[in-house]
Chains A and B, each alone.
Chain A
Amino acid sequence: MDLLGFARGPALKVALAIFCVGVVWRFVGFALLRLRRDLNKPRVSLLGSWAGGLVTVGSRSWPHPEFIGRTGAGEALGYSYHIGLFIVVLLFEPHIVFLGSLFGFTWPGLPSSLITLISVLTLTLFLAVLFRRVTNPVLRMLSNFDDYFSWFITALVLVTGLAATAHIGAPYEKLLAWHILSVDGLLVWFPFGKLMHAFYIFPSRAVNGALLARKGAVS
């Protein structure tokens, strides 16, 4: 078996299995955690509490007007590269074919040259967020191995994908194999690192919002 066969064969199968086990494990473990009892009198009904949670999901997804001057650029950077990633992952035809082989349905994609352009822009933004992380004293102090490795494995997928598309540095089948292997690596790392925020981000905001709403502090 050659490297490409290994990458899209057994390695992918094992990576997908680990991904599914890990994500479900963390979700179920998270859902079954016992909340400490809150003996305070609720300020709103249960429904109002969860409505507050939904409000928080929305409000925390946008810069607070008062701080927009300080946080707006960072949030714009974050949104931009996330949107870039979504476009590249979901609208590149070979990716659609790959996802279609897993899920059984496909959807229209974008021109490959446009995807290449967006990939380069996204990679540039990736470098910018890394630069910001290492140059901002507060962010640097907050960062640990998890942050840097999650950045690295995601950037690696982008770099290998771009190299494969542009045929840079090695024959296409090797670049494609390394690209798929990097995706396999990302799938394995995903549930156990901060990449899991892709699943946690809205539930955790909702829970925070609901708890705050119960105290009468919807924000």
Chain B
Amino acid sequence: MTQGTSELTVGEMLLKYGISRRSFIKFCTATASAMALPPWMGPAMAEQLRNSPRPSVVYLSFQECTGCAESLTRSFAPTIENLIFNTISLDYNDTLMAAAGEAAESARTKAMQDNFGKYVLVVDGSVPTGAGGAYCAAGGRSAVDILREAAKGAAAIVCVGTCASFGGIPFADPNPTTAWPVSGIISDKPIINVSGCPPMPEVITGTLLQFISTGQVPDLDEHRRPKVFFGNTIHDRCYRRPFYDQGKFAKSFDDEGARNGWCLYELGCKGPTTYNACATIKWNGGTSFPIQSGHGCIGCSEPGFWDKGSFYSALSTAAWGKAGEVAPRQVGKLAAGAAAVGVALGVASAGVSRLRQRPSEPHGNEPKGG
């Protein structure tokens, strides 16, 4: 952690660590490039960061699996080391910090008091409210209390991961802990959602850097996600898209189509309805992403992704079964039942029609229909 140095500007910190101005501009340009910002934003970001005090960041973890923090530590642009040591003052993160117990909690309290109204609050995990918040507590206090207290002095809240952004897996039916996303609890602060299960590391660090360097909440989509990272669907940027356009689809995970890299739409890929940067930035330093590894996108950065039916049924299929799938047998039952009702109605209406018809009319043989 970097307590005691948060009053230094980023530039002063860089000098302290012997990093040249040129190297820093290169770093900022690379970061701006990763965020698809205009070319002039790199130097502007560098200038802004050099003269800004390193902002305090308080990172709270609630009902989560630590996958988001694991993801964050694998960031390549900027690296987590760069982010923590050069750009921000990460004053509290119970996973990464060495301190524990009262020392850790007092670090959080001090950071929040010293930087009231200015610190960035990062939240990871959903917030359970059932049983008086007892499902998730730290230091004898419930997650919901800690969140409300920490949110009061925050300049903005960055929700890292689908759980904090949309409730995620804890929020999924039947939601046994009455979990909520942060936006379900806090309504008077700017909230930026960086969704994903886990979210992309470069998206987490990029969003933090963009907010820190500009002081502005980036352009957000309808789910409060930065448009720069969540502006396109996976499908839009997928390298398999040409196969979709050609109508070439893998029918199973081991058929010839799958081996030839054909589109995974029919195998349940949720790329067309999922907004994220996986297909462009990719994972592990740009090595690959799930579709490139042969599995369809599961739509983990979308609200309610866990309750949207099977990961393996195509988006265009009927979905009213319990598991989100419909078996032809169910359709047959529905059709048979409906046909029985139809027959009954047909017989009844023909009966009514015959009763109204005068049977003594012998002439004519007009056709029944047009």
Contact = CB atoms under 8 A, between A and B. Distances in A.
Contact of B316 (A10, A21, A94): A94
B368 A30 contact: yes
A167 B271 CA distance: 13
Contacts of B343: 24-25, 28
Interface in A1-39: 2, 4-5, 8-10, 12-13, 16-39
B342 A23 contact: yes
B361 A101 contact: no
A22 B316 contact: no
A146 interface: no
A24 B366 CA distance: 23
B350 to A, nearest CB: 3
Given A17-B338, A24-B345, 18 more contacts: A5-B308, A12-B320, A16-B331, A16-B335, A20-B335, A28-B342, A39-B362, A101-B313, A101-B328, A110-B247, A111-B245, A111-B246, A112-B244, A112-B246, A113-B246, A167-B236, A200-B369, A207-B367
B51 interface: no
Contacts of B266: 93, 97
Given A34-B354, A39-B363, A113-B245, A28 B308 contact: no
8 contacts: A29-B349, A32-B347, A33-B353, A38-B365, A97-B316, A176-B273, A204-B367, A208-B367
A121 B183 CA distance: 46
A102 B244 contact: no
Nearest to B358: A36
Given A97-B314, A102-B328, A113-B245, A24 B339 contact: yes
B245 A112 contact: yes
B317 A8 contact: yes
A44 B309 CA distance: 60
A20 B273 contact: no
Contacts of A171: 233, 273, 275
B98 to A, nearest CB: 43
Interface of B: 233, 235-236, 244-249, 265-266, 272-273, 275, 303-304, 308-309, 313-320, 325-328, 331, 334-335, 337-339, 341-343, 345-347, 349-351, 353-354, 357, 359, 361-370
A24 B370 contact: no
Contacts of A30: 346, 368-369
A67 B18 CA distance: 92
Contacts of A63: none
Given A4-B273, A25-B345, A25-B346, A172 B328 contact: no
B185 to A, nearest CB: 22
A27 B349 CA distance: 11
B207 to A, nearest CB: 20
A114 B244 CA distance: 12
Nearest to B329: A104
A192 B339 CA distance: 15
A140 interface: no
B362 A36 contact: yes
A58 interface: no
Interface residues of A, number: 64
Contacts of A4: 273, 315
Contacts of B369: 30, 200, 203-204, 207
A38 B366 CA distance: 9
A48 B244 CA distance: 52
B304 A200 contact: no
A172 to B, nearest CB: 5
A116 to B, nearest CB: 8
B366 A36 contact: yes
A147 interface: no
A114 B326 CA distance: 29
B347 to A, nearest CB: 6
Contact of B309 (A5, A93, A102, A173): A5
A20 B339 contact: yes
A36 B233 CA distance: 63
Contacts of B347: 28-29, 32
Given A33-B368, A113-B245, A176-B315, A16 B353 contact: no
A111 B246 CA distance: 4
A109 interface: yes
B352 to A, nearest CB: 9
A8 B319 CA distance: 6
A22 B314 CA distance: 29
A30 B369 CA distance: 8
B370 A200 contact: yes
A35 B365 CA distance: 7
B317 A101 contact: yes
A201 B246 CA distance: 35
A115 interface: yes
A12 B317 CA distance: 10
Among B244, B342, B343, B347, the most chain A Cβ lie within 10 Å of the Cβ of B342
Most buried by B among A19, A23, A40, A101: A101
A148 interface: no
A138 B367 CA distance: 23
A51 B350 CA distance: 27
Given A38-B365, A94-B314, A112-B244, A103 B338 contact: no
